[in-house]
């Protein structure tokens, strides 16, 4: 309620639509940011987020153009549509930033994440972990008599589902790369 005790939104008795046109719905967006590959660039981009209280759900960085000395930063963040627009505008104003793409709104994109998951167990739990790994197409990259390290690639939801199934079977450690994303088509 505001000072006039008028509820947000329109009503049959009001001539004014008091709803926020951009909405208060929190959305998840994947941003691809092309930057110069030089010292301090990542710190400046991350500083933009932390200085304004924005959260980063996933962050992946790698050099993509060796000759042009450019890197691609893939950021998964959440916020209202207004916050997402503000993030994109502020990223675009940074000097080392060449391009900002919101893969969520620009069309269909392919998103993948890699995770390594260590599961310790013997007997039936070990057999069940191997069976589930086969279903999820996870590869065994290390094996001892007491544990496995599985490698799984896919959407974040697939990785999350695999991790949830491994918890009761003896999950001991997780390492995730973060989301790598690319727009589909030309």
pLDDT the model gives residue 186: 77
pLDDT the model gives residue 1: 46
pLDDT the model gives residue 16: 56
pLDDT the model gives residue 4: 55
Show the domain range for 175. Answer: 109-183
Query: Residue 30 forms beta bridges with which residues?
Result: 76
Say how many domains are in the chain.
Answer: 2
Q: What is the domain-level CATH number for residue 158?
A: 3.30.70.1150
Q: For tokens 């450690």, what's the residue? A: 173
| Buried-state track 5-33, b at ≥16 Cβ within 10 A, e below 16 | eeeeeeeeeeeeeeeeeeeeeeeebbbbb
On whether both 124 and 166 belong to a single domain, the answer is yes
On whether both 129 and 177 belong to a single domain, the answer is yes
The vertex-61 CA angle with 106 and 59, nearest 5°, equals 70
Is 162 in contact with 152 (CB distance < 8 Å)? yes
Q: Give me the residues of the chain with pLDDT under 50, please.
A: 1, 10
Question: What does pTM read for this prediction?
Answer: 0.78
């Amino acid at each position: 309620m505001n000072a006039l005790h008028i509820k947000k939104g329109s009503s049959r008795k009001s001539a004014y639509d008091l709803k926020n046109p951009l909405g208060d719905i929190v959305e998840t967006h994947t941003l691809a940011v092309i930057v110069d590959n030089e010292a301090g660039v990542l710190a400046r981009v991350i500083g933009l987020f932390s200085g304004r209280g924005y959260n980063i759900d996933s962050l992946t960085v790698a050099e993509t153009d060796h000759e042009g000395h450019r890197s691609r930063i893939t950021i998964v963040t959440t916020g209202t549509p207004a916050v997402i627009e503000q993030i994109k505008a502020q990223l675009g104003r940074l000097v080392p930033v060449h391009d900002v793409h919101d893969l969520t709104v620009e069309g269909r994109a392919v998103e993948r994440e890699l995770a390594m998951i260590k599961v310790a167990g013997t007997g039936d739990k070990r057999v069940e972990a191997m069976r589930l790994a086969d279903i999820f197409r996870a590869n065994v990259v290390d094996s001892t008599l007491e544990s496995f390290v599985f490698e799984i690639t896919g959407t974040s939801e697939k990785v999350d589902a695999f991790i949830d199934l491994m918890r009761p079977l003896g999950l001991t450690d997780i390492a995730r790369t973060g989301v790598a994303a690319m727009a589909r088509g030309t």
